[in-house]
Chain A
């Protein structure tokens, strides 16, 4: 969006909504099954979508019964770094990775 490329005039809501969304996000990190908080987060993200606070957190199908953002594996973990389902990129048949089906 052009708004994100060119710094435009901002109003109070431009700061207030992302701040509220972010605070709720921090709460949901430790209370991932709090339905009231999940519903409120969803409401705030519908009022102002595409903010830094909403980014990457909403499930594509819009389901809202759990805070999936915290689910593993996290990027620094071994399991998160498979490409095309494979962690080992060698094709050697006697490699331990191949034997383990990884």
Chain B
């Protein structure tokens, strides 16, 4: 019993640690992008300032919204936080609470609420963003499930912490490399990064994830952004722990992952909306090949 409590405690601490560092990772991605464009860029701490700024500002609600509108950011943030406690990371105790399927659908729950809220204010941009978000997530989901299947075939378990790359065995395999590339592609789509979505744009007509947040302000907005930053670091942690077949400390993997996202976002522009299925189809094929190779 005591060991279980310690495990849960350690997981909670990990969630908080990831929460604290999440805005920093987002800041690093933005800094890398700025430097690659020969701009000086904002400080890597800018995302902390932004979160504080939104937190202090008043929250404006239109009279046409329901309770969903207030509930959604909270659910979105909490699901990201719960996901952060589940990923196999730095602090994992004897017992693991992180089942892969629960992890995937916890995040899906957050997304579900965000799409509901996007329609709640009944603005055209919100509805457009919501419908596109569902379109992308429908394509992302099978890819993520396949990515998890590879590891559960290899390690005979669906518990996330038991899927962590075992560096003692043969870990640098074709299957691992394919899965690594594919998971990275899926990660970009899942976190609304280029080339699937453009996190920096002000053009409402092109937005996916940002389109859903247009009606938000103040604390609710800061919760959504914090949730998004958290999701990036959660995916980078998962990516590092499960899919990067190189034996270096996890923190460095996360950092490297952030830098690579920055580079990829600089090298790419946003693709046509209907090409996203080709992109995610490619990732799915990679993962199928990885399973066959396994």
> Do the two chains bind?
no
Q: Which residues in B have some Cβ–Cβ distance to A below 8 Å? A: none
